[in-house]
Amino acid sequence: MHAINATHDPSLRSWVGSANRTGTDFPIQNLPFAVFRRSGSDEPFRGGVALGDQILDLGAAELAGVATGVAAEALAACAEPTLNSFMAMGNAAWSALRKFLSEALRADSRFAARLRPAFVPQKAAEYALAARIGDYTDFYASIHHATTVGKLFRPDNPLLPNYKWVPIGYHGRASSIRVSGQDFQRPYGQVLPKGADRPELAPTARLDYELEVGVFIGAGNQLGSRVPLAEAEEHVFGVCLLNDWSARDVQAWEYQPLGPFLAKNFATTLSPWIVTLEALAPFRAPWMRPAQDPQPLPYLDGAALRTAGALDIQLEAWLETARMRAQGLPPERLSHSSFRDCYWSVSQLVAHHTVNGCNLEAGDLLGSGTQSGPTPEEAGSLLELTDGGKRPISLGTGETRTFLADGDRVVFRGWCEKAGYVRIGLGEVAGRVLPAAPPS
């Protein structure tokens, strides 16, 4: 796990003024990565780092010739259209570039004049997925979500007996993952109407969001090898926000016996910014398992995990309806939870994923599963917030929701804060539901 170092110093200030504003997601202590270009241009996509309301164009920074050694090699990799090559370089390269950028962007830096032309305003940029995602695994790592949903789907057996022993996951669809700002059509699927004895093909009537944390793999492992728990985070580049949209009526009909399929693979939306694990070092927390629960098998347990294996990331879900947009009203917050409550840690997900010799590769994505807390208002999905659609949510416009309506836009936000350190953010991820396409 990363140690706190000079890049986390709360007294640091940048010569980019907006990075010093209270409450910004992107102070100099953060330095998250994305892939971007100027909006509406035919420029190639390339890597960038957020600072205040600006983006440092890492391709232009490389051309400025200010970095040397490993940091220069890392900058060159970040000039590519995806960050896969940079991710594959490993922890030493990630840390070297973070150290260089922290020093180069501080208020007393001698590189300010040479790097100033390399900035692009975030409001003038458009984004692509930060990595070429070869594989996507979605986990089910919140016991609060699993228990609540289990009660809805299986009232007599809500939490299956393996849940407390093994991190449950399924192989998701990488090709339908898109970056924040995604608009997608309400999907069709087989559903079984209440009281019917045969299914029908129809647009989902129970469209939902899932508030998740995405985990990007950096350096991979060879096929047939295992990643020990103590080394797992050396293989993790960073985290982002993830919305795993779900068609709950399709899910209810199809999920047995093999789990999610068409109910999940029509759309997944990622935030553009990846916050590195090194940036999150001040926001570590003990990973804990209730004493009455089964304790993890040895390959999923360790002293470092128990001491600081959890990440205290605050998570929020917001809803903007078409009426809110028309009336110029802001979105309404639906829930607030913390990734700290996750039953399985990031390191455990990686260690378990590879215990059978599965090879992870740079740019692979792991989803945490819906992140819900122990209280009802901390639920990370409408399925939980509305008790399976039985208790509609009332909005300030007079509208109600059990599940998402056409025109609804869902926004997730995430951040970390702690006394003695500067708040850092994960930005936001947003997506909007369009009407279903007419059947052909």
Is the Cβ–Cβ distance between 277 and 213 less than 8 Å? Answer: no
Is the Cβ–Cβ distance between 339 and 368 less than 8 Å? Answer: yes
For the chain, the first-to-last Cα distance in angstroms comes to 53
The three-state DSSP-derived secondary structure of the chain is: CCCCCHHHCCCCCECCHHHHCCCCCCCCCCCCEEEEEECCCCCCCEEEEEECCEEEEHHHHHHCCCCCHHHHHHHHHHCCCCCHHHHHCCHHHHHHHHHHHHHHCECCCCCHHHHHHHEEEHHHEEEECCCCCCCEEEECCCHHHHHHHHHHHCCCCCCCCCCCCCCCEEECCHHHEEECCEEEECCEEEECCCCCCCCEEEECCCEECCEEEEEEECCCCCCCCCCCHHHHHHHEEEEEEEECCEEHHHHHHHCCCCCCCCCCCCCEEECCCEEECCCCHHHEECCCCCCCCCCCCHHHCCHHHHHHCEECCEEEEEEECHHHHHCCCCCEEEEEEEHHHCCCCHHHHHHHHHCCCCCCCCCCEEECCCCCCCCHHHCCCHHHHCCCCCCCEECCCCCEECCCCCCCEEEEEEEECCCCCCCEEEEEEEEEEECCCCCC
CA distances (Å), origin 377, targets 20, 155, 310: 33, 21, 22
What does the alpha-carbon distance between residue 418 and residue 427 come to, in Å, rounded to a whole number?
Answer: 17
What does the alpha-carbon distance between residue 406 and residue 435 come to, in Å, rounded to a whole number?
Answer: 5
**Active site annotation includes 145:** yes
What does the alpha-carbon distance between residue 65 and residue 424 come to, in Å, rounded to a whole number?
Answer: 29
CA max distance for the chain? 73
**Residue of 2, 8, 145, 235 marked active site:** 145
CA nearest neighbour of 104 among 52, 66, 63: 66
Q: Where in the sequence numbering do the catalytic residues fall?
A: 145
